[in-house]
Amino acid sequence: DTAVSQTPKYLVTQMGNDKSIKCEQNLGHDTMYWYKQDSKKFLKIMFSYNNKELIINETVPNRFSPKSPDKAHLNLHINSLELGDSAVYFCASSHLAGQGNSPLHFGNGTRLTVT
Amino acid sequence: SQQGEEDPQALSIQEGENATMNCSYKTSINNLQWYRQNSGRGLVHLILIRSNEREKHSGRLRVTLDTSKKSSSLLITASRAADTASYFCATVPQISGNTGKLIFGQGTTLQVKP
């Protein structure tokens, strides 16, 4: 009964390929996020959806496209993968309370390696 | 730019000792949160402190917040080997409005030796 689950856990692919990462949460949260963690463990927000509506879109290359078919799912599609895309990608979810006071629940990450 | 910075970057202590980690941030915040990340796993929320609070406790964890200095500290008392992990502070800047945008520091890697 994992709360936030991501698939796959590991993804190894070649430059130029297109890949997707899926995320699902069963916590009943209304907001989902994608974070990228680099090799130095720095976590940076990429996107956030609230009730299927995009509310945060950081400076991310447009090769990255999030898709939220419903409140419980937020997928990340990456086109034309580059070496610099290698990182661990985390999905998270929360209730979007006023002033962002709700803690995030994270998945266990997808380690993407681009060769 | 990155909102939170943590100090030290790495900390190694013996089991039973206390561990203190510090976090500094740059802009006014709504709240500050601390998370733990075990190797190969996602982040786990530990504690949230609002901007109008100065101190908060949860079990062996004690968090302080000084908004005048834009800093926070996390104290883990009587550490255990199982506390070995990376610890991150994260802030919700006031300027982010109601988006829930959480900005993370680079973390402190804590090693507790048995």
For residue A96, name the pLDDT band (cuts at 50, 70, 90): confident
Taking the C-alpha atoms of residue B46 and residue A105, their distance in angstroms, rounded to an integer, is 11
For residue A98, name the pLDDT band (cuts at 50, 70, 90): low
Q: Give the pLDDT confidence of B35-76 residue by residue, as tens digits.
A: 999 999 999 999 999 999 999 999 999 999 999 999 999 999
Sign of the C-alpha dihedral computed for residues A15, B104, B108 and B18 taken in this order: negative
User: Does position A99 have pLDDT exceeding 70, yes or no?
Assistant: no
Taking the C-alpha atoms of residue A97 and residue B3, their distance in angstroms, rounded to an integer, is 21
Check residue A2 and give its pLDDT.
66
Taking the C-alpha atoms of residue A67 and residue B14, their distance in angstroms, rounded to an integer, is 46
User: Does position A74 have pLDDT exceeding 80, yes or no?
Assistant: yes
Check residue B1 and give its pLDDT.
45
For residue A38, name the pLDDT band (cuts at 50, 70, 90): very high
CB contact under 8 A, B48 and A103: yes
CB contact under 8 A, A99 and B43: no
CB contact under 8 A, A100 and B86: no
> What percent of chain B is modeled with pLDDT above 90?
77
* Chain B residues within 8 A of A104 when measuring between CB atoms: 33, 35, 43, 45, 102
Check residue B49 and give its pLDDT.
94
Q: Where would I find the beta strands (DSSP E) of chain A?
A: 4-7, 10-13, 19-25, 31-37, 43-50, 53-57, 64-70, 73-78, 87-94, 105-106, 110-114
CB B100 within 8 A of CB A100: yes
